[in-house]
Every structure is written in structure tokens, then in C-alpha cells.
Amino acid sequence: MSDTILRVEDIRTYYGDGLILDGVSLSVDRGKLVTVLGRNGVGKTTLSRSIIGFTPPRSGRIVFDGSPIQGMASREIVKRGIAIVPQGRRVFASLTVYENLAIAARKGPISSDSAAWDLKKVFELFPRLEERRSQRANTLSGGEQQMLAIGRALMTCPKLLLLDEPTEGLAPLIIELVVKALQELRRSGVSLLLFEQRVEVALRLADVAIAMSSHGLITFNGAPADFPTHEVSAVPTLP
Ligand SMILES: Nc1ncnc2c1ncn2[C@@H]1O[C@H](COP(=O)(O)OP(=O)(O)OP(=O)(O)O)[C@@H](O)[C@H]1O
Ligand SMILES: [Mg+2]
């Protein structure tokens, strides 16, 4: 089994005629947390959507767990073991906490190398969700909705979890809860690809940090300690 769970090779992704990612390459090793840092509009969400197949790249390759996945339907990609916590959380507002989690539960067998997440394990990670299990998602606070979005993704028993700005719009104390959960997940062995704008938060968590600038241009890929914080803050946003 290779040490690399995900390899993105020179992908180009468009929205209509607009080239958004102009040749992005990166990889994630098994059990590691890799963070992609970049300002508004550089293409973080587009990269996450490219990987999970919502906005497939027009060229390049994506290899997950040893097999090429580019061009596959998202449903198939999720079945193979990638889950996403989308930007803005997007939980099902009118469903209860329990229903949001139950609906996401993996159907079918789990491969021997993915963790078997279930309701009990998600409630252990986020006790607040258990307290609110019968509440509708739209009555939860932003932080609780973020926990629910993470819990829902875990219910698919992923090998790789993509998290698109999970701390966006949260108060500092709640950010710490999310950080703690991500630390626990990392210890549990799931591979993590975290897209963030909060440089300090992400560098504390990451094994590898990547700086992204407009059109997905990667300007740094290495140890968090060497991360050029000043460079990322100077990255201009796209018009
Ligand atoms: N559906 C779309 N149609 C056309 N252009 C889009 C669409 N979604 C995003 N874009 C453009 O693609 C570029 C990258 O956007 P993307 O959302 O991937 O950036 P981001 O790094 O996630 O930004 P943020 O930090 O604000 O979430 C931006 O210029 C954006 O305007
Ligand atoms: Mg985004």
C-alpha cells in the first residue's frame, strides 16, 4: 500500500470558459493533515470540488488510494472513501441532528482500512450533538452546525476528509472546539485536507502546509514552520 492516499496531478478546472485552477498538483500522505492556505477567491473551494467530482477538472489526473478518480461521479468517489465538509456547512436545515447523521450513514461494506464511524462515535466526538439530537439543524448555533457537518461527513466512514474553511464565521472559543476535534480525527488515522484562510489555526494543526495564490498557483509546499505567512497575506484576490 502506497504512503500517498491522494495525488492531484496538474489539474485544470473551469467554470464555463473561466480557467480557475491552472495546473494544480499536490499530494496527501496517509494519516496526515495537509492544509491549503489562500485568500478569498484563489480557488480553494474549486479545488475541493474538483477532488470530489462536483466540478470535475478538464485535464490532469487525480489518484485516490491507488486508482484514478477524475471523471467519476461524485457518488462513486464518496463510495471509494472521500468525504467533504463543504464551505458554509450546508446541513439539512429542516431535519433533526439525528436525521442529518442517519441519512449520511454509509450503506454497504467498509474497507478494512477505514474507521467504522457510527452515531455513537460521532456523539463521543461531539457530545453537544447528542444533547441536541432531536433538534432541527436550523435551531443550532453556527459552531454546532459545523460539528454536525463534520459528523455527517464522518458517517460515510471516509479515508480522506476534505474540510473547506470549517472555522469560517465562528467565535474564537468555538474555533478551539473544532480544532480539538480535528486533532482527535488526526489521531484516529483519517487523512485530512484542510482548506483555510486562518493561517495560525491551520499551521498549528498541519503536518504539511501549502500556500495557494490566484488560479491555484502553489507558491509554497512544506513544513508549517517554514510557511511564508507574509506571502499569503500579500496574495491579491482575483477580480
Ligand atoms: N460557480 C461559479 N461560476 C463562475 N465562477 C466561479 C464560481 N464559483 C467560483 N467562481 C470563481 O472562481 C474563483 C475561485 O473561487 P473559489 O470559490 O474556488 O475560491 P476560494 O479560494 O474558495 O475563495 P473563498 O476563500 O472566498 O471561499 C473566483 O474567482 C470565483 O469568483
Ligand atoms: Mg471557498
What is the pLDDT, as a whole number, of residue 231? Answer: 64
Q: What's the Rg (C-alpha) of the chain?
A: 17
The CATH number given to whatever domain includes residue 195 is 3.40.50.300
Confidence of residue 85 (pLDDT cuts 50, 70, 90): very high
Collect all residues with Cβ–Cβ distance below 8 Å to 122 and sequence separation of at least 6. Answer: 101, 129, 151, 154, 155
What is the pLDDT, as a whole number, of residue 185? Answer: 92
Any domain includes 129: no
Confidence of residue 236 (pLDDT cuts 50, 70, 90): very low
Confidence of residue 105 (pLDDT cuts 50, 70, 90): confident
Among 12, 20, 193, which is best to mutate for testing ligand 1, by the most ligand atoms less than 8 A from CB?
A: 20
Any domain includes 183: yes
- Counting residues of the chain whose pLDDT is more than 70, the rounded percentage is 93
Distance (angstroms) between ligand 2 centre and the Cα of 121 equals 29
For the chain, the average pLDDT equals 91
Ligand 1 atom closest to the Cα of residue 87 is 27
Any domain includes 238: no
Distance (angstroms) between ligand 1 centre and the Cα of 44 equals 8
Q: Which ligand is nearest to the CA of 215?
A: 1
What is the pLDDT, as a whole number, of residue 36? Answer: 97
Q: Cell digits for 93?
A: 436545515
Q: What is the pLDDT of residues 131-149, one digit of tens each?
A: 999 999 999 999 999 999 9
- C-beta 86 within 6 A of ligand 1: no
Measure Cα distances from 68 to 9, 116, 154, 203, 222 in Å: 11, 24, 23, 29, 25
Measure Cα distances from 130 to 94, 98, 127, 166, 168 in Å: 17, 8, 5, 20, 23
CA distance 101 to 213: 35
What is the pLDDT, as a whole number, of residue 232? Answer: 66
Q: What is the pLDDT of residues 185-209, one digit of tens each?
A: 999 889 999 999 999 999 999 999 9
Any domain includes 126: no
Residue 19 pairs in a beta bridge with: 14
Our count of domains for the chain comes to: 1
- C-beta 18 within 6 A of ligand 1: yes
Any domain includes 221: yes
β-pairing verdict for 160-164 and 191-196 = parallel
Distance (angstroms) between ligand 2 centre and the Cα of 195 equals 8
- C-beta 214 within 6 A of ligand 1: no
Distance (angstroms) between ligand 1 centre and the Cα of 13 equals 11
Distance (angstroms) between ligand 2 centre and the Cα of 82 equals 18
Distance (angstroms) between ligand 1 centre and the Cα of 211 equals 16
What is the pLDDT, as a whole number, of residue 235? Answer: 42
Any domain includes 145: no
Flag whether pLDDT at 237 surpasses 60: no
Atom 31 of ligand 1, nearest CA residue: 41
Any domain includes 225: yes
Confidence of residue 107 (pLDDT cuts 50, 70, 90): confident
Q: Which ligand is nearest to the CA of 39?
A: 1
CA distance 131 to 80: 32
- C-beta 238 within 6 A of ligand 1: yes
Which range of residues forms the domain containing residue 190? 4-88+159-233
Any domain includes 125: no
